Chains A and B, each alone.
Chain A
Amino acid sequence: MVGYKYNTEQEAIDAVALCNKYYGIPVSEDSVTQTFTDYFYNESIGYYIIYSEELQQVLGNPQEIIIILNKL
């Protein structure tokens, strides 16, 4: 997949916060949408954010990420 990879959880949290600030999320008190993007953790690659077009202007160019799945 394409996305953004981070060395620590804090880096991923900071990246999410940056996106929320840029897009003004949450918009209001009654907004169900609480964050613009979110991060995941996988043993094979660590912390990452899945790419979407709107993230590029905040987080820059994404990279190819290969995740090894070990469970069905």
Chain B
Amino acid sequence: MGLPSFITPIMGKSQPLLLLDAVTTATGAWSLRKLRAAYSGNCIRVRRSSDNTEQDIGFVGNVLDSSSLTTFVGANNGFVVTWYDQSGVGRNLTQTTATAQPLIVSSGTIVTEGTKSAVSFNGTAQFMNVAATLPTYPLLTTSHSLHLVGKSTLTGGASAGFINYRSTTPVDRPELRYGLLLGTTTRLYWNAGDAVNTLSGFTTYSLHSSYYTPVSGVTVNGYRNGSSIFSGNRADNWSSSLTPTFQIGFYSVATAYRGGVMQEMIIWNTDKTSNRTTIDSNVNSYYAIW
């Protein structure tokens, strides 16, 4: 039996390929592990509560340098000021307001989900924006793939997803909201005015992913932990001239928040369905979610 496709033999040992070396051309990639060998930047920039100074934190052994992080923050709280984009495109997640910055260290202890470090959004005030504009409507008028390792919580305004991507107008607007609270469950909300498609279970720590191709039939497929749990269509009636916002933890259209934890999010500007099992295997071999 051969090696899985995300494993490659290097110098006699089997080394896992970093995810974006195995599945290339991401258009935005944020993670607390290193995703691409050629990426030489830092992982996150952190503000410590003791004196509000900031420091960049990099990687050690392809994961967040937790030693540097806890040394810098000490027994205090540490907040994420910038979550660097590893795609090479420079779409950093940022938050310039202190009280809105998500938490990475709580009283000297790094926040975790499962067995790995995580960034926590409280659902009442904390959120991050994509600093640079995403390319012309990448998620909604072209093929795309998106995955989130984490979960949303029930804390927040009913209309807010954990990930929110949409324009304010028109009413029949394109949109994508991961982890929107509908009734008592959190779901994927896709294109209000046309169809509400539901990928439920966002409060469970998982790999949540969706793949979309705007061809005839206009289909989006949703998965959780590698299993298909959703497939749906949408009407093809939107404009590409809008300027949507992309926010984590906040839905600016309604000034509403959604709590959650996030360890990794990647957007590809193409349909990566053919790479899905490679992505799933890579994610689960590191996070051990399912």
Chain A positions near chain B (C-beta within 8 angstroms): 1, 23-25, 27-28, 30-38, 40, 42, 50-52, 54-55, 67, 69, 71-72
Contact = CB atoms under 8 A, between A and B. Distances in A.
A28 B81 CA distance: 14
Contacts, number: 69
**Consensus secondary structure, chain B interface:** loop
Interface in B66-119: 81-82, 94, 96-101
Interface of B: 45, 47, 51-54, 81-82, 94, 96-101, 124-125, 157-159, 192, 253-256
B254 A72 contact: yes
Contacts of A38: 97, 99-100
B173 to A, nearest CB: 11
Contacts of B47: 32-33
Nearest to B101: A33
Given A27-B52, A69-B159, A32 B82 contact: yes
Contacts of A52: 99, 125
B142 to A, nearest CB: 25
Given A32-B45, A32-B82, A69 B51 contact: no
Contact of B99 (A34, A36, A72): A36
